Amino acid sequence: MSQLSDDDNFDPTRDGKVPMRRTPIALLLRSLQHMARMLFSRHPGDLFVWLKSMAMRRKPLSYALPWLTFDAIRVIEARLRPGTRVFEFGSGHSTVYWAEKGAELYSVEDDAFWFGMMQTKLQGRPDVHLFFEQEHWDYVGRVGKCEGTFDIVLVDGSHRKDCMLAAMPMLKPGGLLVVDNTDWHWFQKVFPRMPPDWVVHHYPGCAPFIGHASQTTVWVKP
């Protein structure tokens, strides 16, 4: 699995963001297209959830919903039970979501501001374990310091390729490796390098809190 650690195809000017025009006309047209895509999809109710999420963006952590595509959220939610063991790289709205679903949650964050917000929001929850790691390899390696394996690992923070590698042996058989923003350039190079016996599902489409299309990918460990 070390083949994923090759950074030759990583371009920091392109990866980590989706290049888009942000003129007022472009934003308006993209928003209208985005809303139409949800309204005429198999799940038109996503539009109303999306509108609520956009209205509540100004108040961080006020809406417990991951910043993943709606189809990916549905797949994950079908797996969640009280006590489901979850590890996430990068905290935020998803952290509150896992906690409210009763998951046994382990979350690592490298941004002091977000970490402080999470501590305040989730204090007193015995099944929520928050870690602050600013150094690259401390952040990546935190998953390996936890006892036991996980039902779900979410990679939605920093150092994503390294986090994917660290997460794979820490998943239970049949567990989900969830990686967000896989429409970014370098992920197109990662897909063929994943072990062929891991079943992969791509979920492109709309997501809460953002006004453009995205993609979340879920790998199932054999």
Give the tens place of pLDDT for each residue, 135-158: 999 999 999 999 999 999 999 999
Cα dihedral value 217, 218, 221, 222, nearest 10: -90
181: left (phi over 0), alpha (psi -120 to 50) or beta: left
Q: How is the chain split into domains, by residue range?
A: 9-220
Per-residue pLDDT for 84 more than 90? yes
As a whole-number percent, the residues of the chain with pLDDT over 90 amount to 76
- Strands (DSSP E) contained in 133-198 are 150-155, 171-180
Q: Could you give the CA distance from residue 43 to residue 83 in angstroms, rounded to a whole number?
A: 28
pTM to 2 decimals?
0.90
Q: Could you give the CA distance from residue 70 to residue 82 in angstroms, rounded to a whole number?
A: 21
CATH domain 9-220 topology: Rossmann fold (3.40.50)
Q: Could you give the CA distance from residue 122 to residue 77 in angstroms, rounded to a whole number?
A: 20
Higher pLDDT, 126 or 184: 126
* 211 and 31 Cβ atoms separated by less than 8 Å: yes
What per-residue confidence (pLDDT) applies to 18? 55
Per-residue pLDDT for 7 more than 90? no
